[in-house]
Chain A
Amino acid sequence: GDSVTQMEGPVTLSEEAFLTINCTYTATGYPSLFWYVQYPGEGLQLLLKATKADDKGSNKGFEATYRKETTSFHLEKGSVQVSDSAVYFCALSPQGGSNYKLTFGKGTLLTVNP
């Protein structure tokens, strides 16, 4: 079945450091890929998405590129801020979305210190 593997962390960085959170997936065909962010005590927010190979999703300084050859969708940000402290989830929807569900990774806790 489909699966998503992401580094579990926790990841602790200083403000303005470079961030990478690795995400790899297992799925047939060309799934849609997503990154969600969850701030403390809140629901998940869609951060960015990519729906086909080589697409780059971007939002709020975060980027992730859909790499079919390595089945990866790593999240990056050039300079993190304290306000980026949150849990980040990688997720996929199967090609065509016919099973109605998302498969999530286990989440990566990011803490950014001033």
Chain B
Amino acid sequence: SQTIHQWPATLVQPVGSPLSLECTVEGTSNPNLYWYRQAAGRGLQLLFYSVGIGQISSEVPQNLSASRPQDRQFILSSKKLLLSDSGFYLCAWRAGSSGTYEQYFGPGTRLTVT
């Protein structure tokens, strides 16, 4: 069965510091991968998605970036965090080549920028 991991689970970082959040998926190949943010409420904001190694699509211009160095690894980064980057970051995956379109989410990373 497929499993998705995110780490760290919680993170407290000062303004201006760098960020690296990691997401890995097990039990599937060539998944589509996604980064979402949930800030101060319930809504989900899609930040990035990737359909393959090195292929990144950005949904929102901001000081965050994403990379996919391996098939089942997705990394969210920032060179300098802002207060507004605080939130709950969720990684998700979808089967890359099947007739089903649902996404499966990881447990999330709670980021607090102080």
Q: Are B101 and A97 in contact (CB under 8 A)?
A: yes
Q: Are B108 and A107 in contact (CB under 8 A)?
A: no
Chain A residues with CB below 8 A from B87, complex form = none
Chain A residues with CB below 8 A from B94, complex form = 100
Q: Are B42 and A101 in contact (CB under 8 A)?
A: no
0/1 string, B86-111, CB within 8 A of A gives 1 = 00001010100001111111111010
Chain B residues with CB below 8 A from A51, complex form = 100
Residues in chain B within 8 A of chain A (CB atoms):
32, 34, 42-44, 46, 49, 51, 90, 92, 94, 99-108, 110
Residues in chain A within 8 A of chain B (CB atoms):
32, 34, 36, 38, 41-46, 49, 51, 87, 89, 93, 97, 100-102, 104, 106-107, 109
Interface CB pairs A-B, < 8 A, 23: A34-B102, A41-B110, A43-B105, A43-B106, A44-B44, A44-B90, A45-B105, A46-B102, A49-B102, A51-B100, A87-B42, A89-B42, A97-B99, A97-B101, A100-B32, A100-B49, A100-B94, A101-B46, A102-B101, A102-B102, A106-B42, A106-B43, A107-B44
Additional 5 contacts, C-beta under 8 A, given A43-B106, A97-B101, A106-B43: A89-B42, A89-B44, A97-B99, A101-B46, A104-B43
